[in-house]
Amino acid sequence: MKKALITGITGQDGSYLAEFLLDKGYEVHGIVRRCSSLNTQRIDHLIEGKYGNEEKIVLHFGDLSDSNSLNRLIDKFEPCEIYNLGAQSHVQVSFDVPEFTSDVNALGALRLLDSIKEVNPKIKYYQASSSELFGKVKETPQTENTPFNPRSPYAVAKLYAYWITINYREAYQLFACNGILFNHESPRRGKTFVTRKITTGISNILKGKQEKIILGNIDAKRDWGFAGDYVEAMWLMLQQNEPDDYVVATGETHTVREFCELAFQHVGIKLVWDGEGISEKGIDYKTGKELISISNQYFRPTEVDLLLGNATKTHNKLNWEPKVSFEKLIEMMVDSDINT
Ligand code: NAP
Ligand code: G4F
Segment 87-112, tens digit of pLDDT? 999 999 999 999 999 999 999 999 99
Beta bridge partners of 214: 293
d(CA 290, CA 210): 12
Whether residue 331 has pLDDT greater than 80: yes
Residue predicted with more confidence, 48 or 252: 252
Task: Give the residue among 125, 121, 127 at the shortest CA–CA distance from 171.
Answer: 121
What residue spans define the domains of the chain?
3-187+223-252+306-324
d(CA 176, CA 238): 8
Q: Is the CB of 311 under 6 A from ligand 2?
A: no
Q: Model confidence at 78, in pLDDT bands (50, 70, 90)?
A: confident
- Give backbone dihedrals phi and psi of 317, rounded to 5 degrees, phi first: -85, -35
Pick the CATH number of 3-187+223-252+306-324 from 3.40.50.720, 2.40.50.100, 3.40.1390.20, 3.30.390.30: 3.40.50.720
Atom of ligand 2 nearest to the CA of 300: 26
Task: Give the residue among 136, 110, 113 at the shortest CA–CA distance from 124.
Answer: 113
Q: Could you give the percent of the chain with pLDDT greater than 70?
A: 98
**Helix intervals (H) in 153-285:** 153-172, 194-206, 227-238, 256-266
- Residue-level pLDDT at 54: 63
Task: Give, as one character, the DSSP assignment of residue 142.
Answer: B
Task: Give the residue among 131, 237, 236, 253 at the shortest CA–CA distance from 181.
Answer: 131
d(CA 165, CA 305): 27
**Mutate which of 193, 221, 297 for ligand 2 pocket (most atoms within 8 A of beta carbon):** 193
